[in-house]
Amino acid sequence: QVQLVQSGGGVVQPGRSLRLSCTASGFTFSGYAMHWVRQAPGKGLEWVTLISYDGSNKFYGDSVKGRFTISRDNSKNTLYLQMNSLRPEDTAVYYCARGDYLDWGQGTLVTVSS
Amino acid sequence: EIVMTQSPATLSVSPGERATLSCRASQSVSSSLAWYQQKPGQAPRLLIYGASTRATGIPARFSGSGSGTEFTLTISSLQSEDFAVYYCQQYNNWPDTFGQGTKLEIK
């Protein structure tokens, strides 16, 4: 069955960096665009970024543009989110999701705090 | 960006009864509307896409309707496992945007 297994996350100080990973199985990863979606504690869902199936196109929400970078390695069936210049308002559970939003990772908590 | 507004914020319904959740878009999104269910500590689960098509494995008691700017999710006979938070999402215009959620609680 389809699985998206996330890793990374944790507590980081403001201004520092963190990288999240999302490893896919059970479907042809290289055939799908992939998203990152986040959810601040007790809040709703916010779309963060999208990468096309081959990595040639990337889109970012205004709140992370210029600070976050999405990438993928289709040979490893893995999606990445490099988060730089982190701010307290980036504190959230981050989810990876397949392009059609049918399947989601389990989520990983990123806490930005001094 | 398109703003999605859900109502009510909280809905109290008894098991076995019908629940009706609403979602309004700030401009037309055609039928590019999805509904998700989220339980505490879990990832969202896709219920409905294309405004009215149930995702794989979703029970028939879940139905979606609407187009343009007004959408409805109906749960025909609430089961205990249906009490959760529900989000609508438009994917007609970039960026994809979500509503703020409706919490469906047991009355």
Average pLDDT for A78-96? 98
CA atoms within 13 A of residue B15's CA, in its CB half-sphere: 5
Binned at pLDDT 50, 70 and 90, residue A108 comes out as very high
Looking at residue B94, its pLDDT comes to: 87
Instruction: Report d(CA B98, CA A106) in Å as an integer.
Output: 19
Phi-psi region of B23 (alpha: psi -120 to 50; beta: other; left: phi over 0): beta
Looking at residue A53, its pLDDT comes to: 97
Pick the residue from chain B with its C-alpha nearest to A102: B46
Mutant choice from B2, B6, B98 vs A, greatest count of A C-beta within 10 A: B98
Binned at pLDDT 50, 70 and 90, residue A95 comes out as very high
A29 phi and psi angles, rounded to 5 deg: -55, -40
- Residues with Cβ within 8 Å of residue A25, at least 6 apart in sequence: A2, A3, A5, A77
Instruction: Report d(CA B97, CA B2) in Å as an integer.
Output: 7
Binned at pLDDT 50, 70 and 90, residue A75 comes out as very high
Any idea what DSSP says for residue B80?
G
Q: Is A59 on the interface with B (CB under 8 A)?
A: yes
Average pLDDT for B86-92? 97
Instruction: Report d(CA B105, CA B107) in Å as an integer.
Output: 6
Read off the pLDDT of residues B23-41 as tens digits, 9 standing for 90 and up.
999 999 999 999 999 999 9
Can you say how many angstroms the Cα of residue B99 is from the centroid of all Cα atoms in its chain? 9
Look at B95 and A106 and tell me if their CB atoms are within 8 Å. Answer: no
Instruction: Report d(CA A103, CA A90) in Å as an integer.
Output: 23
Kindly state the percentage of chain A with pLDDT values over 70: 100
**Facing A44 at nearest CB: one of B49, B95, B100:** B100
How many Å is the Cα radius of gyration of chain B? 13
Q: What angle do CA B102, B103, B107 make, to 5 degrees?
A: 130
Q: Is B80 exposed, middle or buried (0-12, 13-18, 19+ CB in 10 A)?
A: exposed
Look at B95 and A47 and tell me if their CB atoms are within 8 Å. Answer: yes
Looking at residue B1, its pLDDT comes to: 94
Read off the pLDDT of residues B33-74 as tens digits, 9 standing for 90 and up.
999 999 999 999 999 999 999 999 999 999 999 999 999 999
All residues of chain A having their beta carbon less than 8 Å from the beta carbon of residue B46 are: 101-102
Any idea what DSSP says for residue A63?
T
In this structure, what token pair is assigned to residue B73?
Answer: 């999710």
